[in-house]
Amino acid sequence: MSNPLDTNQLRIRVQQTLTEFIAEHREIMVDISVDTLPLVQSLEDLVSGGKRLRPAFAYWGYLASGGQDSEAILRACAALEFLQACALIHDDVMDNSDTRRGAPAVHKQFEAIHSDSNWLSDGPRFGAGAAILIGDLALSWADELIFTSGLTSDELVRANEIYHVMRTELMAGQYLDLLEQVRGEISVERSSTVIRFKSAKYTIERPLLMGAAIANAPQSTLNALSSYGLALGEAFQLRDDLLGVFGDTQTTGKPSGDDLREGKQTMLIAKARELASAQQIALIDSKLGNPNLTEHEVSQIQEVLINCGAQQEIESRISSQLEIALNSLSDLSPEAKHALTELAVMATKREK
């Protein structure tokens, strides 16, 4: 069988849909003012990359529920890339991240435009403001692309029941994540809540259920996809957390240990607080969140996370959640089961 990301040329068609949609809306922006074109270009650049996991999970939730391929379902699934762009842009502003996918983060792009143009006022504030607006634009375009996808009225009603909840959960999860960064001393329980609402539901479970709802799936299928999505969604985010600390810069597109410099309060850090010695915890506390951490200091924290067993605990949790996810697929069709198994492996074994 083919890669489930490429079934029916999924990734190619998603990109074509996004490119055509942006081209149409570029004309609208030109009519407003050519000065708005950097907003469009920045967003277009961002949605030209990525793994396309959310459209893929929505698409396979639809196929697993008996749906047949169409341009309408493809456009509805592609809209999730704009929603993802909104989340990434705003996330980078909140985290004050310098890079995204090996390029300057959107707010850093506009900060540079401000500097190069010798404009008045504060460059970082201008960059953050522009990024917030581009994120809002992406969210607006996600809504528009779903609404104009070509789905029937009944299909749109069922899709929106999931889509509206997904957006609410995402914003709530983003706030909980932001809150944990200032609270400090995160617990495993609190980190699990953040993971569920910031990532697990939004990345996997809700896209799957949106696709399944469009196909009017029976409750048994919805239950199976939900169980799979929640477990896999946690495993996906836990892999992301490990990559944020141990990932290779050339592969991830972000500096090694970037999450440590940002002071990210993750389940990995929560596990370290459970397992590490007082001396090891003191070392983490003295360095976590320092934006000027040297490579040597990053290595020191990495060693603590390995030696106290926190890294292995997270790896074990990824494996157990992956097993739960795969065991939820037993009643699906062989094609859907194979595709969702392959997607699960891609989501948890990735290096970026």
Q: Is the pLDDT of residue 315 over 70?
A: yes
Q: Is the pLDDT of residue 310 over 80?
A: yes
Residue 2 domain flag: no
Q: What is the pLDDT of residues 79-119, one digit of tens each?
A: 999 999 999 999 999 988 898 988 999 999 999 999 999 99
Residue 296 domain flag: yes
- For residues 67 and 73, what is the distance between their CA atoms, to the nearest angstrom? 9
Residue 167 domain flag: yes
Residue 37 token pair: 């074109």
CATH number at residue 29: 1.10.600.10
Q: Based on the structure, what is the number of domains in the chain?
A: 1
- For residues 205 and 203, what is the distance between their CA atoms, to the nearest angstrom? 7
- Quote the mean pLDDT of the chain: 95
Q: Is the pLDDT of residue 254 over 80?
A: no
The mean-pLDDT minimum among 153-162, 198-207, 253-262 falls in 253-262
Tokens 């001396």 correspond to 279
Residue 258 domain flag: yes
Residue 156 domain flag: yes
- For residues 343 and 330, what is the distance between their CA atoms, to the nearest angstrom? 15
Residue 1 domain flag: no
Angle CA 226–232–238, to nearest 5: 140
**Looking at residues 246-260, what average pLDDT do you find?**
84
Q: What is the DSSP string of 93-106?
A: HHHT-SEETTEE-H
Q: What is the pLDDT of residues 321-332, one digit of tens each?
A: 999 999 999 999
Task: Report yes or no: 130 and 105 within 8 Å, Cβ to Cβ.
Answer: no
Extract the runs of DSSP E, i.e. beta strands, from 188-319.
none
Tokens 């957006």 correspond to 167
Full domain range(s) for residue 82? 7-349
Instruction: State residue 255's pLDDT score.
Output: 79
- For residues 16 and 25, what is the distance between their CA atoms, to the nearest angstrom? 14
Instruction: State residue 20's pLDDT score.
Output: 98
The burial of 308, by beta-carbon neighbours within 10 Å (0-12 exposed, 13-18 middle, 19 or more buried), is given as: buried
Ranges of H-type helices in 33-122: 37-46, 53-64, 71-95, 106-117
Ranges of H-type helices in 184-215: 188-194, 206-214
Angle CA 106–107–112, to nearest 5: 100
